[in-house]
Structure 1
Amino acid sequence: MSEQPHQIGQRIATRRRARRLTQTQLAAAAYLSVATIRAIERGARRPSDMALETIAAALGVDPSALLEGHVGTERRVRAALPEISSSIAGYDIPPDSPMPPLGQLATAVTGAESWRLAAQYGRVAQSAPTLLTGALAAFHAADGRERRYAARLLASAARTADAAAYKYGAHDLSARLIDLMRWASAQADDPLLEASASYVRTETFFAAGAHRTGLKALELAVDQGPVATTPQSIAALGALHMRAAVVAGRLGDSDAADVHLDEARSLGDQVPEGIYVGTAFGPESVRIHEVSVAVSLGGDHVGRAFDVVHEWTPPKDLPAERRSGFWIELARAQLWGNRREDAHESLKVARRIAPLHTREHPWARETVATLRRLRRADDESLTSLAEWIGAI
């Protein structure tokens, strides 16, 4: 028998109070109205799949903790992928759809970007086809300055859609979305946006295991990038160096990784932590990438990761996806360093921060599977985590 709305609402209210959140705070974090939260909690309204998942993400739990057996996100993302693919099939051909008002489109793009940074992939995937279709219509219908502005919105829409495609293993579609982002960035005549596209393009090289080519592409993007004279340009170059350091680590080139980390660190010290052209950058993001580099270099370098986190963890105002990625990579280092209890705890933190991101991360799944093999199989907490993440 399906659970009644009041049962779901009670669980949400209990979790909210345990987190010491007001209904207003939960509504803001879940991108829902206060009236919707109130109606759901008192059982007057059954939450949709999307609402349930955004509430779960805001509470730092998996949706199945609020509704047993819930598997909505993956189903919605995979159902949306063909429509996303169709929406960009002829991106260079003017569509028949009407041009939306640019202000309305900009608001929608900004909202979708916030979902991407919060790792809310279900919302991203469902909104992406309409967002991409609207952005393409605006681009082809506009001219002059408005056309360049529409191109920037199109690039952002493509990047947002790519987040869902890449995380759920649709790498061919991801590569096409990144090509669209690069094309739109060139149409926008915006060096900062082109640097951002080069940053995102690294996903294609990660998926193909073409790390050497990926490093060359990033170093070329650095050479051709904007001059570091403004916070935005400093952040654009710094992000490229962060990414290049991780790719160099995957290659096992510790010297190149250190060179790029030093450059990223120097640039990070010049700007406050923030979101620049869709990418988080600043001193805190560089620290997270120091851990990423150590893990990329392999088990012999775990000491570098432990040095970073000796008296520091990512602050809560960083994007959820970035913070959860930090704990996932730290768990990998802790496993290699024979700190298995710590690795288990790190994965639980990652799950609380961004459940959907953690569940789809291959390193998280691999670490959980290894922990369960090495530790007692009757460890209920670990077994529960392994079942949730799909490791058993």
Structure 2
Amino acid sequence: MSAVDDHVGRRIATTRKTKRLRQVDLARRAYLSLATIKGIERGARRPSDAALEAIAAALGVDPTRLLASYTGTERRVHAALPDISASIAGYDVPPVPPRRSPDELYDAVGDAIAWRLGAQYGRIAKHAPALLGDALAAFHTAPDRRTAARLVVGAARSADAVAYKYGARDLSARLIELMRWAVPHVEDPLLTASVAYVRTETFFVARAHDAGLKALETAIDAAPAATGPQASAARGALHMRAAVIAGRGGDADAAEEHLRAFRQLSEGVREGNYLGTAFGPESVRIHEVSVAVSLGSDHIDRAFAVARDWAPSDALPAERRSGFWIELARAQLWGKRFDEAFESLKAARAIAPLHTREHPWARETAVTLRRLKRADEESLDNFVGWLGAA
């Protein structure tokens, strides 16, 4: 029994206890024998890929939270991408009736949204093709298309998270266009604003920062007035995105203007998930770091000031918390704080392994650290190998 396998067993046991489950409960949820669970937890047996994925699903985490070197999720995601593509190829053609009831479909889309916020990409990839197919079928057969169109948007956004993170940029763009096609049927300007927020991915990919900023400012002008938390969050999220893309384009004045508006809109709004996007005071701090890093190395002191006595709480989605540490690591690298940068990367991995592994800045920072740093070379080598950037 290797040390790695033994570590898997301990991590499974720790996660199970955190969830307040007994071994028999985990065995039942994972459809495994109690003897198998006991053997894995005490390190007497190595979990197969299928067993590890079943245990992870039962615990509500991605398998890489239990075994950081696990690559089955990546294989599963890439294998699912053609099926996701096929499921939306005839989005405007009435398909067969949905296989799920409206209530079942509503719950399934809710699960997919939660998986996206938790960076559980393997679970999304597994269910996305059927979920998209059912959502589109419901749209074409429902007497009232508004609810069904909302489900299409939710399913497509979750699938887009997988496509975008795993480099399937053409598929990501198609999923975003699917959202833009469906959202007018919802007749909800707040959801329209949310889709405009997601659309910015296409501008990031193309490095079309000026065009992306103009598109976001148009969406801000069209968004409802901030008359309550939901509306404030919708407008604020657009300003949040605009600040980052302005920073990527080197427009410090526009970045500061949108960051200031974002900050004002967050006042009095509790941090939370609004239409699938985290928004609130903690998100302001995270995006202050993001904007500083986007503007370049001359602005890193601002990132350090934010992070000096603060770190994102567990109330935030895993993907956003992980992103904070990845961007802070980039600033720390520029500031020659090499040890701190490596600690930030490890913090990002502990929170959302898959998000960290697929993030280009995490790879770039780790590889540069290995090239520049001489201490703790073995750990850096292992980390870079885990990223697949060796």
Deviation at 1:92, TM superposition (A): 1.1
Offset from partner CA, 1:209-228 (integer Å, 9 cap, x none): 11110000000000001121
Deviation at 1:57, TM superposition (A): 8.3
Matched, 1:51 2:49: no
Change (3 A) 1:210 1:244: same
TM-score by length of 1: 0.90
**Match of 1:51, as an amino acid?**
A
| Equivalent pair of 1:12/1:41 in contact (CA under 8 Å) | no
Alignment of 1:236-385 (within 5 A): 236-376=234-374, 379-385=377-383
Deviation at 1:106, TM superposition (A): 0.4
Distance 2:30 2:127 in 1: 22
Count of aligned pairs: 379
Deviation at 1:231, TM superposition (A): 1.0
| Equivalent pair of 1:23/1:34 in contact (CA under 8 Å) | no
Distance 2:253 2:62 in 1: 41
| Equivalent pair of 1:26/1:58 in contact (CA under 8 Å) | no
Offset from partner CA, 1:235-280 (integer Å, 9 cap, x none): 0000000000000000111110010001000111121000000000
Deviation at 1:379, TM superposition (A): 1.4
Offset from partner CA, 1:33-62 (integer Å, 9 cap, x none): 387696653148856253355589849955
Change (3 A) 1:271 1:23: closer
Matched, 1:192 2:195: no
Deviation at 1:11, TM superposition (A): 3.8
> Which residue number in structure 1 is paired with residue 129 of structure 2?
129
Segments of 5+ residues of structure 2 without an aligned counterpart are 41-46
Q: 2:168 aligns with which of 162, 167, 170?
A: 170
**Match of 1:138, as an amino acid?**
A
Offset from partner CA, 1:309-342 (integer Å, 9 cap, x none): 1111000111000000000000000000110000
Change (3 A) 1:23 1:251: closer
Change (3 A) 1:38 1:196: farther
Change (3 A) 1:51 1:60: closer
Change (3 A) 1:23 1:307: closer
> Which residue number in structure 1 is paired with residue 109 of structure 2?
109
> Which residue number in structure 2 is paired with residue 86 of structure 1?
86
Matched, 1:120 2:120: yes
Distance 1:375 1:56 in 2: 38
Equivalent residue of 1:96, what SS?
coil
| Equivalent pair of 2:367/2:384 in contact (CA under 8 Å) | yes
Distance 1:150 1:111 in 2: 16
Equivalent residue of 1:88, what SS?
helix
**Match of 2:170, as an amino acid?**
D
Distance 2:204 2:137 in 1: 32
Distance 1:118 1:59 in 2: 9
Deviation at 1:380, TM superposition (A): 1.2
| Percent identity between the two aligned chains | 59
> Which residue number in structure 2 is paired with residue 70 of structure 1?
70
Distance 1:54 1:42 in 2: 17
Distance 1:23 1:115 in 2: 17
| Equivalent pair of 1:365/1:391 in contact (CA under 8 Å) | yes
Structure having greater relative contact order (Cα 8 Å, sep ≥ 6): 1
Bigger Cα displacement from structure 2, 34-43 vs 333-342: 34-43
Matched, 1:41 2:37: yes
> Which residue number in structure 2 is paired with residue 207 of structure 1?
205
| Equivalent pair of 1:24/1:34 in contact (CA under 8 Å) | no
CA-based RMSD:
2.6
**Match of 1:101, as an amino acid?**
S
Deviation at 1:16, TM superposition (A): 4.6
Change (3 A) 1:218 1:341: same
Change (3 A) 1:105 1:350: same
Equivalent residue of 2:278, what SS?
strand
**Match of 1:42, as an amino acid?**
K
Offset from partner CA, 1:71-108 (integer Å, 9 cap, x none): 21111111101110011011111112435311000000
**Match of 1:318, as an amino acid?**
L
Deviation at 1:19, TM superposition (A): 6.8
> Which residue number in structure 2 is paired with residue 181 of structure 1?
179
Offset from partner CA, 1:183-216 (integer Å, 9 cap, x none): 1111111111110100000000111111110000
Change (3 A) 1:52 1:169: farther
| Equivalent pair of 1:57/1:354 in contact (CA under 8 Å) | no
**Match of 1:158, as an amino acid?**
A
| Equivalent pair of 2:272/2:280 in contact (CA under 8 Å) | yes
TM-score by length of 2: 0.90
Change (3 A) 1:205 1:20: same
> Which residue number in structure 2 is paired with residue 229 of structure 1?
227
Distance 1:253 1:26 in 2: 54
Distance 1:249 1:323 in 2: 20
Change (3 A) 1:25 1:178: farther
